Structure 1
Amino acid sequence: MPRTLQYRPTLIDELISNERINSYQNVFQPASDIELMGVYLWNAHVSGAIYPIIGAAEITLRNAIDRALRGHLGNFWWSGHKLRYRSFVRSTPPPHPVQAARDNFAKATRKFIAEQRSRYGVTGHITPTHHGVMAKTEFSTWGFMLDHEFMGNGLIWPSRLGTVFAGTWPSTQASTMLTHVQDLVTTVRDFRNRLFHHEPAWKRFGVHTEADALQHLQEKIGKIESLVTLIHPENLRLLEKNGLLRAARRACTSHEIRRFQHLAQTHKINSMSKLQGLVDRCGTDDTILMAKLYLGRQRTFLVSPV
């Protein structure tokens, strides 16, 4: 039972720290350490539920840009002088987005070579492969590649923009569209970094209450959904058909907070008709419910929609 755990000083004061957990106390106003730890664990649950859809956005964006530019400029399209940019001046350093993209590809190449040596024991000269380097790129690379430095006559945008983003555009103007998707990518990437660094997923300026936090999370999921749909609507269908979007949105609800705080109702089931009723409610409300079954040996289950 959660009441037998040593919340203080062991779990909260020493292993998590009051500095980190105070923000949960201020926003969610838990009435006990059990509820405080519950909302802390709920945050980890939210991060895990959102991870697959962020991963889908990152991977499909990377592959869509790579596919379009590889068909246009060939393999290793980022190397040498293949990738031209708008403000090019001979003997002058490139602007930040261009240099940052180059640095990211150089870093990805080094990571690929290092992995070949450490994981596979390859010795001597290693020739990087196109797909090997692409797999090592960071998410920020694609934000840099969507910069307006690459927009203009004879440049990669706008000529290849429709190939990368096959969904319905919010604007018929390529420059407006490029700004829109770059903003989306920046928002999703910043949110991804917050999740991956184990920070509160809901935290930002202006979030003061539980309702604020949940609204913020739902908005972020909406941004991820928009990016995935712009790349190709079939990406969205994949996430929907496998229940990943619903799972992410379901995680970001007050009902799920209560469940992790051990405040959710436990439904006692001692007949098949009651079990059927609970399953029906679970599906109708799209909610995870806790059931204690007395059919034979007493056991507790979570009943979850898919």
Structure 2
Amino acid sequence: MLNKINYRPILIDELITNERLSSYTVVFQHTNDAELIGAYLWNTKVCAAFYPLLIAAEVTLRNSIDTALSNDLGRFWWKTGILRYKSFDGVNVPFECKAVTENFQKAFAKVRAEKRSRYNQNRHNPSHNEIVSKSEFSTWEFILNDEYMGPNLIWPKNLGKVFRGKWPSKTGTTLKVARELVKVVREFRNRVSHHEPVWKRYGIKNEAEAIIHLNEKIDKILALIELVSPHKLELLVKSGIVANAKRVCTIGELRNNQQTSQIHSVKSVSKLYRLVKSANNDNASKNIVLFNFGKARFTIEPF
């Protein structure tokens, strides 16, 4: 139980820090340190729920672009002289185009360094797939830049091969919409990866607004995945990953982590059945106490 732990001075003041918890103190309802830490731990659970969605978005986009461009330009399509852009003059390289080249160079170096560190291979020649897998997420945002759009360039001729979902209704906006979605997802992924309060953004004043913000991020991630591959989205839905993320990003799940939500006493199979059915229908966790097991506590979580 969270309320049986001594939080100060070590846990909060030294290991978590009051500075880290200051934003939680303002935004989340709490009456004591236990409930405050519950909100802090809820953020960790939110990050865990987002992680498979973010991985799916990045890997799906990366592989879809790489497959299309490999078929169009050949393996190692990012090499200078192969990947062309609109304002190419051999001298002034646009920032995004330069970033794509540098990102693949860094990926090449990462593969070599890892092979040297893990396998003592000093002169490993990275394969196409090894380089692609080590590329930074920003690579796939930069490659969607308008510099690559035009006659005899990679866009728009490969758009339909990369983005197989429903396109925006307005003609000529698919590349822009995709790029904006990737930017949003990438920046949010960075917050998750760096253990930041992922519910946080400018202007959020209370926990209800934090929940809305998180659900907006879920929608953006799913929109990107669906634009690339409706089949991949279907997989995530049917596997329960989407439902899990949506369940975690609720006030109810926040209260569960603060250990202030209702605990249902279960003394019969019929009541247990009703609670299981309710959890499934509402996509919500139910905390229960089973008297036949010595008042043991359990949480029912829908799949």
Please confirm whether the aligned pair reaches a TM-score higher than 0.5, indicating the same fold: yes
Does residue 177 in structure 1 map to residue 174 in structure 2? yes
Q: What residue number does 2:111 align with?
A: 112
Q: What residue number does 2:6 align with?
A: 6
Aligned ranges 1:1-306 → 2 under 5 Å: 1-90=1-90, 92-123=91-122, 125-171=123-169, 173-174=171-172, 176-306=173-303
TM-fit CA distance, 1:172: 5.1
Identity %: 48
Q: What is the alpha-carbon root mean square deviation over aligned residues?
A: 1.0
TM-fit CA distance, 1:7: 1.1
Between 144-153 and 283-292, report the one with greater CA deviation. 283-292
Counterpart amino acid of residue 77 in structure 1: W
For residues 288 and 88 of structure 1, what CA distance do their matches in structure 2 show?
Answer: 56
Structure 1: where are the runs of 5+ without partners? Answer: none
Counterpart amino acid of residue 120 in structure 2: G
For residues 246 and 86 of structure 1, what CA distance do their matches in structure 2 show?
Answer: 42
Structure 2: where are the runs of 5+ without partners? Answer: none
For residues 61 and 171 of structure 1, what CA distance do their matches in structure 2 show?
Answer: 21
TM-fit CA distance, 1:296: 3.8
For residues 285 and 158 of structure 1, what CA distance do their matches in structure 2 show?
Answer: 43
TM-fit CA distance, 1:37: 0.3
TM-score normalised by the chain length of structure 2 = 0.98
Aligned residues: 303
For residues 80 and 147 of structure 1, what CA distance do their matches in structure 2 show?
Answer: 17
For residues 220 and 182 of structure 2, what CA distance do their matches in structure 1 show?
Answer: 9
Between 59-68 and 273-282, report the one with greater CA deviation. 273-282
For residues 252 and 26 of structure 1, what CA distance do their matches in structure 2 show?
Answer: 19
TM-score normalised by the chain length of structure 1 = 0.97
SS of residue matched to 1:131: helix
